Amino acid sequence: MARPNWVPAGTDLDKPNAARVYDYYLGGSHNFEVDRQMARKAIELWPDLPKIMRANRAFLRRATQFAAEEGISRFLDIGSGIPTFGAVHEVAREYQPDARVVYIDMDPVAVAHSRLILADEPRCRIVDADLRNTDDLLARPEVEELLAPGEPVAVILNAVMHFVTDEDHPDRILTKLREALPSGSMLILSHASLEGRPDQAGSHQSLYRSTPTPLTMRSREQITAFFEGYELVEPGVVYLPEWHPDDAASVGPHPERMTGMAGVGRLS
In angstroms, rounded to a whole number, what is the distance separating the alpha carbons of residues 88 and 39? Answer: 24
| Nearest one of 143, 159, 116 to 23, comparing CA atoms | 159
Question: Helices (DSSP H) in 180-246: which residue ranges?
Answer: 198-208, 220-225
**Cβ neighbourhood burial of 247 (10 Å; 0-12, 13-18, 19+):** exposed
Q: Read off the pLDDT band of 151 (50, 70, 90).
A: very high
Residue 120 is classified by DSSP as T
In angstroms, rounded to a whole number, what is the distance separating the alpha carbons of residues 111 and 81? Answer: 8
List the domain boundaries for the chain.
47-266
> Does residue 3 carry a pLDDT above 70?
no
Residue 70 is classified by DSSP as T
The rounded Cα 187 to chain-centroid distance in angstroms is 11
- Cβ(125)–Cβ(102) under 8 Å? yes
Q: pTM for the complete prediction?
A: 0.86
The rounded Cα 20 to chain-centroid distance in angstroms is 13
Give the 3-state secondary structure of 168-195: HCHHHHHHHHHHCCCCCCEEEEEECECC
Most confident of 41-50, 64-73, 106-115, 256-265: 64-73
Which residues, listed in sequence order, are joined to residue 188 by a DSSP beta bridge? 156, 264
- Cβ(56)–Cβ(158) under 8 Å? yes
**Is beta strand 124-128 parallel, antiparallel or unpaired with respect to 231-232?**
unpaired
Is 47-266 in CATH node 3.20.20.10?
no
- Cβ(137)–Cβ(177) under 8 Å? no
In angstroms, rounded to a whole number, what is the distance separating the alpha carbons of residues 207 and 148? Answer: 40
pLDDT in tens, 215-260: 888 999 999 999 999 999 999 999 999 999 998 878 877 787 777 8
pLDDT in tens, 98-130: 999 999 999 887 888 788 889 899 999 999 999
> Does residue 170 carry a pLDDT above 60?
yes
Q: What is the DSSP string of 6-54?
A: TSPTT--SSS--HHHHHHHHTT-S---HHHHHHHHHHHHH-TTHHHHHH
